Amino acid sequence: MDRRDYLLHSVKNAMRILRLFSMDEPELGVTQISSRLGLSKSSTHRLIATLLKQGYLEKNEINSKYRLGLALLGLTGVITNTLEIHRESLPILQDIVEQLGEAAHLGVLEGNDVVYLHKVECKHPVRLLSHIGKRNPAYCSSAGKVILAYQSEEVIHRVLESELYPYGPNTITNPEKLRENLMDIRCKGYSIAIDELHEGVVSIAVPVRDYTGAVIAAISVVGPKQRMSEHQSPYHIQILHLAGQKLSKQLGFIETDNKCTIKKIRRDI
């Protein structure tokens, strides 16, 4: 077994250990774990030591058994937040489609991409533009850029250093111009992408915040240019802003200042 296979095998066994714990058996000993997984005690000890170090397991010093650690609460919080935003966003996206007549999406940033968690289709959909689970480059989609604009310098720098491929005729592939575009988006509070990801397509997005005030998602509408003309943009933006504020409020965000505050993004690209 080469090193890569060994590491994958170890990760798999570590996950198997975590899944052994339940409400009926919140604590388990080394012998119980090794026996149930068919592992040697030495291998089990090594895996437990790693999980202990990372906080995914804790040791009960009284009986020398192990239980799930507090580090898992962080992951639980992410899952809970994702489930909550998925549930709360559906009626809001449905209202957007009813008012604007275009497909509405809920997207989150994952790596350098925006991933669509939710989508409500319109009566006259444009085929192949998006679907739940679809990934698009964050730098040339309105949803991706409006989330990216509020991220840390580290995240922005990572995207600017990646290959900026021209997907559409208006894709911004110059890192400096993209940085300026993100600064403008952060000031305005919304993003419009025309012919950036797909030629002939317009998308508009606004940020969604959680209870900490961090931008964790975006609500967007997408449609063909012939249906989403420029003179309609103010109305689309207004509807989206109200939707974004409503979803943010439902996630616990309390707005305290509506002023445009730009934090200068360093230019050390």
Those residues with Cβ within 8 angstroms of residue 179's Cβ, 6 or more apart along the chain or in another chain:
156, 160, 265, 267, 269
44 vs 62, 105, 183, CA distance in Å?
Answer: 20, 45, 50
Supply the mean pLDDT for the chain: 88
Whether 24 and 39 have beta carbons less than 8 Å apart is answered as no
What is the average per-residue pLDDT within 217-234?
89
- The reply to whether 20 and 151 lie within a common domain is no
Residue type, 234: P
Using the predicted structure, report yes or no on whether residue 12 has a pLDDT greater than 70: yes
Those residues with Cβ within 8 angstroms of residue 10's Cβ, 6 or more apart along the chain or in another chain:
47
The number of distinct structural domains making up the chain is 2
Report d(CA 210, CA 179) in Å as an integer. Answer: 24
Using the predicted structure, report yes or no on whether residue 41 has a pLDDT greater than 70: yes
- The reply to whether 129 and 234 lie within a common domain is yes
- The reply to whether 114 and 201 lie within a common domain is yes
pTM for the model: 0.68
Query: 266 in a domain, yes or no?
Result: no
- The reply to whether 55 and 81 lie within a common domain is no
3-state percent breakdown (helix, strand, coil) of the chain, nearest 5: 45, 20, 35
Query: 265 in a domain, yes or no?
Result: no
Predicted pLDDT of residue 134: 82
Report d(CA 242, CA 37) in Å as an integer. Answer: 52
Domain limits for position 63: 3-69
- The reply to whether 155 and 243 lie within a common domain is yes
User: What is the CATH number for 55?
Assistant: 1.10.10.10
Predicted pLDDT of residue 117: 87
- The reply to whether 43 and 116 lie within a common domain is no
Closest CA to 185 of 210, 214, 151: 151
- The reply to whether 140 and 217 lie within a common domain is yes
Query: 88 in a domain, yes or no?
Result: yes
Last residue of a domain, one of 32, 51, 69: 69
**Signed CA dihedral, 233, 212, 187, 196: sign only:** negative
- The reply to whether 17 and 109 lie within a common domain is no
Predicted pLDDT of residue 263: 41
3-state secondary structure labels for all residues of 179-232: HHHHHHHHHHCCEEEECCCCCCEEEEEEEEECCCCCEEEEEEEEEECCCCCHHH
Report d(CA 93, CA 227) in Å as an integer. Answer: 19
Report d(CA 189, CA 238) in Å as an integer. Answer: 11
- The reply to whether 141 and 38 lie within a common domain is no
Higher pLDDT, 85 or 239: 239
Using the predicted structure, report yes or no on whether residue 127 has a pLDDT greater than 80: no
- The reply to whether 22 and 131 lie within a common domain is no
Query: 7 in a domain, yes or no?
Result: yes
Query: 269 in a domain, yes or no?
Result: no
Query: 267 in a domain, yes or no?
Result: no
Higher pLDDT, 181 or 122: 181
User: What is the CATH number for 193?
Assistant: 3.30.450.40
Report d(CA 248, CA 132) in Å as an integer. Answer: 21
Query: 268 in a domain, yes or no?
Result: no
Last residue of a domain, one of 19, 52, 69: 69
Query: 258 in a domain, yes or no?
Result: no
Predicted pLDDT of residue 43: 93
Using the predicted structure, report yes or no on whether residue 8 has a pLDDT greater than 70: yes
Angle (CA) 264 209 249, round 5°: 135
What is the average per-residue pLDDT within 191-203?
94
- The reply to whether 133 and 32 lie within a common domain is no
- The reply to whether 116 and 29 lie within a common domain is no
